[in-house]
Amino acid sequence: MNSFLKQCIEKGLPVILDYDGVLFEARFAEFKINAIMDELKLIQAHQEGQSLDTTPIRFMQDFVSSLTNPVFVLSHIHDDIEEENKRNLLDKYYNGLVLIRAYSTDDKIQRLLEIAAEYGGFIYIDDTLPYIAHFEEVLGDRPNCYFFHVSSLYV
């Protein structure tokens, strides 16, 4: 684990994890989600009732279970079907981690602000560098708000 990330965790700050690509490999039953997929295709699949056929990332299961910090999952969720599926998988593979639904990128920022206000900061871990950079640009000057790429756990 990145030594700075380890120091942040030792402060007892809440750890906020993105869902897709951090806790689970993201897949639909009929096709694999990839970086070039059209978001409208995802929404259509949810509306048609497709369930995500995802596999938890074993390393992340072990990491989450080792934490004594509060742990939250913050995910941009498009519809109720996606939310229900994600909650069910968190219950099944991560002992019911708290899922916080965000309706947009800006809403994710609002949720992060709420957590920072309640806990005095946070550690946010995502797999998408543009989001990390944007969140850090908007929130990075706040004390005890730290942003990491998921790969920081593997070094």
- Residue 27, pLDDT > 60, answer no
Question: pTM of the full predicted structure?
Answer: 0.85
Domains (ranges, CATH) in the chain? Answer: 3-26+54-153 (3.40.50.1000)
Q: Average pLDDT in the 125-147 region?
A: 95
Degrees to nearest 5, angle at CA 25 with 85 and 75 = 50
Per-residue pLDDT, 84: 86
Q: What is the pLDDT of residues 54-88, one digit of tens each?
A: 788 999 999 999 999 999 999 998 878 788 888 98
**Residue range 23-28: mean pLDDT, rounded:** 72
Q: Tell me how far apart the alpha carbons of residues 119 and 71 are, in angstroms, rounded to a whole number.
A: 12
CA-nearest of 55, 54, 62, 56 to 1 is 62
